[in-house]
């Protein structure tokens, strides 16, 4: 049986929403082990001069805190 913890995370990218989500996972992986999934709750973008300049994601990241066989 696995026990998971869920935390809310936010990230951004100047490339895409997918890149923003990947950057969240990559940054979280520096201190968390056993990341299982990311659920994207919201996506938004910052606009300047009629162009998207930053993509933002707000999501829930789940990771394993205990694993029993």
Give the chain's domains with CATH numbers: 2-67 (3.30.1660.10)
pLDDT band for position 67 (cuts 50, 70, 90) = low
**Of 66 and 37, the one with more pLDDT:** 37
> 27-62 pLDDT, tens per residue?
999 999 899 999 999 999 999 999 999 999 999 999
Whole-prediction pTM? 0.83
Tally: H helices and E strands in the chain: 1, 3
The pLDDT value given to residue 68? 57
Contact by Cβ (8 Å): 59, 38:
yes
The pLDDT value given to residue 22? 97
Torsion over CA of 14, 15, 19 and 24, rounded to 10 degrees? Answer: 0
The pLDDT value given to residue 2? 78
d(CA 47, CA 42): 16
């Amino acid at each position: 049986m696995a026990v998971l913890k869920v935390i809310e995370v936010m990230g951004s990218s100047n490339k895409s929403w997918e890149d923003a989500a990947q950057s969240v996972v990559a940054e979280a992986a520096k201190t968390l082990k056993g990341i299982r999934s990311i659920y994207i709750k919201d996506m938004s973008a910052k606009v300047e001069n009629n162009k998207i300049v930053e993509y933002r994601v707000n999501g829930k990241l789940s990771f394993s805190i205990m694993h029993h066989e």
